[in-house]
Amino acid sequence: MRISYKTSEFQTALSQSEQASSIRFWVQFTGLRSILSAQRDNTMASLATAEVCDSNASVLASGDLRVLHPVFQIYGQNRTFSGPIVTLKVFEDNVLVRELLETRGEGRVLVIDGGGSLRCALVGGNMGQLAQNMGWAGIVVNGCIRDVDEINECSIGVRALASHPLKSSKKGVGEKHVPLHIAGTLIRDGEWLYADSDGILISKNELSV
């Protein structure tokens, strides 16, 4: 009976171990699938911003295509990225930033209006890795980031005003999916963002490659 009990106990432990391994594999697989999907979609949607401006003067004049003022620094491995926009308005508080990045990115771009604050960072290395794992194409921060070396190792595109070593508060105050006014430009949830080394464009609709 003792041998049978130990064998059963071992089998139970083995079963639990197998379940844990399966869960870890599924999490890793899901994250990898999101990354590959985002990279595939991002490659398909990538456009040279200068060429877009040259060939779309009338759309620029109408306001359906807009150019952000050149105030952002370039971070992350992907200097070129694009995708549908998810907007977030916060001030020196990054709880909602993490909440959104914990959802599946599906090639979208998180645009954060941090009020232009230069007193703390809204995004750090852990969030950069999270964004990569969850399949976000990029993050644009009207504010600061930190852990620059870590973010520069992430396969996403990141834009921010500057870097700052101080972390933000954790109150959970802010607004999701609201219109933002950043860098002289109105940005709406669901519009499209295109970024490369020349700058950042906001388009009412998805642009053709």
Q: Is 196 annotated as a binding residue?
A: no
Looking at residue 20, what is its pLDDT? 47
- State how far the Cα of 28 lies from the Cα of 33, in Å rounded to an integer: 9
pLDDT at 41 over 50: no
Question: Quick one: average pLDDT of 140-159?
Answer: 98
126 labelled as ligand-binding?
yes
Across the chain, mean pLDDT equals: 86
Q: Output the pLDDT for position 42.
A: 46
pLDDT band of residue 18 (cuts 50, 70, 90) is: low
Per-residue pLDDT band at 208 (split at 50, 70, 90)? confident
**pLDDT over 60 (residue 5):** no
Mean pLDDT of 189-198: 98
Q: What is the pTM of this model?
A: 0.79
- pLDDT at position 16 is 52
Q: Please, how many CA atoms are within 13 Å of residue 74, restricted to the half-sphere of its CB? A: 12
**Residue 125 annotated as binding?**
yes
**189 annotated among ligand-binding-site residues:** no
Domains and CATH numbers, the chain: 49-203 (3.50.30.40)
* Among candidate residues 183, 48, 180, 192, the one with its CA nearest the CA of residue 107: 192
Is the pLDDT at 85 greater than 90? The verdict is: yes
Whether 147 has a binding-site annotation, put simply, is yes
* Residues 194, 45: Cα–Cα separation, whole Å: 8
Does the pLDDT at position 9 exceed 70? no
- Cβ 29 vs Cβ 167: under 8 Å: no
Q: Is 146 annotated as a binding residue?
A: yes
Question: Of residues 209 and 187, which shows the higher confidence score?
Answer: 187
Beta bridge partners of 82: 194
Highest mean pLDDT among 4-13, 41-50, 176-185: 176-185
| pLDDT in the model for residue 46 | 64
**How large is the average pLDDT for residues 24-29?**
44
